């Protein structure tokens, strides 16, 4: 059994649809560190949550990256959804020439044990890393965690990233959660898709696919 650490029932619905009954929600509001990338936030959260749950955990840190705003709101997506709202995110984007965006998720897994180093650190696309410290990720982001916590023996964390390109559009659809009504992929907003349809193409579905392939070998 796996603890999916989140306060967001929408994420749990999608993970349960993908991973069957292996997942239970662990409603734990882990302290999010401030960082420009999702990976360190998820890695730090997974370590905190593992200590609280005392069992294997996954944390999913997601964000909407709007190209016209150089990736904003990115890791600050939750804050922006709560303070600005998705309707106004659409209105801010509407006058721009470029409405393209991407949704990204990083799933971080921690079970307190070490992992054999792999050639590819959790399936994260090296092209996208833009000079990040890949070696640190192969150690589970230990460098970042050490900076944050001063903990020389940071717990190993494995990261799995999923990304999906799309367009910011006027809100459509009743399903999904969060930014789904304003995020269109191939002509359909995520809020117009069923959970299974969204999982088949979404950032989270792609990260869950990488995670479940690796987890099956564990
Ligand atoms: P936890 O941190 O407790 O998991 P959260 O909803 O705050 O819950 P994130 O920080 O990862 O999770 O989410 C950042 C924001 O992106 C937040 O406003 C979410 O509603 C939104 N979001 C995450 N995944 C999404 C998805 O698949 N579709 C639409 N919006 C999503």
Peptide bond into 73 cis (omega under 30): yes
User: Which two structure tokens, joined as six digits, stand for 183?
Assistant: 């995020």
Tens of pLDDT, residues 164-180: 999 999 999 999 999 99
Has residue 142 got a pLDDT over 90? no
Tens of pLDDT, residues 28-82: 888 888 888 999 999 999 999 999 998 899 999 999 999 999 999 999 999 999 9
Between the CA of 63 and the centroid of ligand 1 the distance, in Å, is 7
pLDDT-derived band of residue 154, with 50, 70 and 90 as boundaries?
confident
Pocket residue to mutate for ligand 1, from 3, 8, 76, most atoms within 8 A of Cβ: 8
Give the E-state strand segments of the chain in sequence order. Answer: 2-5, 23-26, 57-66, 73-74, 100-110, 158-168, 183-185, 188-189
How many residues make up the chain in this entry? Answer: 218
46 contact partners, CB below 8 Å, separation of at least 6: 5, 57, 58, 59, 108, 109, 110, 157
Q: List the residue whose alpha carbon is closest to atom 5 of ligand 1.
A: 8
pLDDT-derived band of residue 84, with 50, 70 and 90 as boundaries?
very high
Q: Are strands 2-5 and 57-66 parallel, antiparallel or unpaired?
A: parallel
Percent of the chain whose pLDDT exceeds 70: 82
Q: Enumerate the domain spans of the chain.
A: 2-215
Mean pLDDT of 182-209: 97
Of 86, 107, 79, nearest to 168 by C-alpha is 86
Kindly report the pTM of this predicted structure. 0.85
Between the CA of 178 and the centroid of ligand 1 the distance, in Å, is 6
Q: Report how far residue 73's alpha carbon sits from residue 66's, in angstroms, rounded to the nearest whole number.
A: 7
Between the CA of 76 and the centroid of ligand 1 the distance, in Å, is 10
What mean pLDDT, rounded, does the chain reach?
A: 84
Quote the pLDDT of residue 114: 82
User: Which residues, judged by CB distance below 6 Å to any ligand atom, belong to the binding site of ligand 1?
Assistant: 6-8, 11, 60-63, 77-78, 81, 176-180, 190, 202, 204
Q: List the residue whose alpha carbon is closest to atom 24 of ligand 1.
A: 62
Quote the pLDDT of residue 116: 59
What's the CATH number for 2-215? Answer: 3.90.950.10
């Amino acid at each position: 059994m796996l603890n999916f650490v989140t306060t967001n029932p929408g994420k749990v619905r999608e993970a349960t649809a993908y991973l069957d009954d292996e997942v239970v929600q662990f409603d734990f509001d882990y302290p999010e560190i401030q960082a420009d990338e999702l990976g360190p936030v998820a890695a730090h959260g997974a370590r905190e949550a593992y200590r609280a749950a005392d069992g294997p955990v996954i944390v999913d840190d997601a964000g909407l990256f709007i190209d016209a705003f150089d990736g904003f709101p990115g890791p600050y997506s939750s804050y922006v959804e709560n303070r600005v709202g998705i309707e106004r995110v659409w209105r801010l984007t509407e006058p721009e020439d470029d409405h393209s965006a991407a949704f990204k998720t990083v799933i971080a897994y921690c079970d307190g044990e070490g992992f054999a180093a792999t050639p590819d650190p959790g399936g994260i696309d090296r092209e996208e890393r833009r000079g990040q410290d890949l070696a640190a990720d192969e150690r589970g982001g230990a460098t970042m965690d050490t900076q944050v916590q001063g903990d020389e023996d940071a717990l190993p964390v494995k990261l799995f990233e999923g990304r999906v390109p799309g367009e910011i559009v006027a809100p459509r659809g009743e399903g999904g959660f969060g930014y789904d009504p304003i995020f269109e992929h191939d002509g359909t907003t995520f809020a117009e898709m069923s959970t299974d349809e969204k999982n088949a193409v979404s950032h989270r579905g792609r990260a869950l696919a990488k995670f479940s392939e690796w987890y099956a070998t564990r």
